[in-house]
Amino acid sequence: MKILPVICAVLAFTACKQHKASNPVVIELTYQQSDIQNQFDTLYNYQQADSGVYNGLIEQALATCHDSTGGRDTITQDVFSSMYYNLRSKRYDCTTTTVFQLPDGSISAIGSFNLMPGDTIAPDHDFPITGGAGAYHHIAGTYTRKYRDGVYHVTLRYYKTEE
């Protein structure tokens, strides 16, 4: 009968060890159009599906982000998006990889969204954080980006996973 309390203790310890941190780390950043240092759109084979609508686009941009607490050094956001025009939905299907370079490492996220031809700003989105390097090795979480009144608002919410 003494084995039952030992099994319960082991199960409780295992369950606690696998549980995610209840309070994730949150980094809040902002940037504006003027903070985007490099940006280019490449037309996919310059083929038009319709007037002003191309079969695909590849976009890359690098932006300097500002920490809302003022406590961090320069943080950059490097974005790479591939966009292909979907003839059925009449929208671009976009896949985006975003990497945030912080002084002590990097955080990356990947996600997808749809964009109407003519739109120049991606819709608000929540992408899963897919990894990190340096101090952000073994993390998981969410990258959220919202655009309001000319300002991009970014929230990186993450927790450490088991190593």
Instruction: Give per-residue pLDDT as tens, 29-49.
Output: 999 999 988 777 777 667 777
Which sign, positive or negative, has the C-alpha torsion 108, 112, 117, 121?
negative
Locate the domains of the chain by residue range. 26-160
Q: Where are the alpha helices (DSSP H) in the chain?
A: 3-18
* C-alpha atoms less than 13 angstroms from C-alpha of 36 in its C-beta half-sphere: 13
Least confident stretch, 19-23, 46-50, 53-57, 136-140: 19-23
What residues pair up with 57 in beta bridges, in sequence order?
A: 43, 83
* CATH classification number, 26-160, choose in 3.40.50.880, 1.10.3720.10, 1.10.10.10, 2.40.480.10: 2.40.480.10
pLDDT digits (tens, 9 = 90+) for 82-139: 999 999 999 999 999 999 999 999 999 999 999 998 888 899 999 999 999 999 999 9
Q: Give φ, ψ of 19 to 5 degrees.
A: -75, 135
Predicted model pTM: 0.79
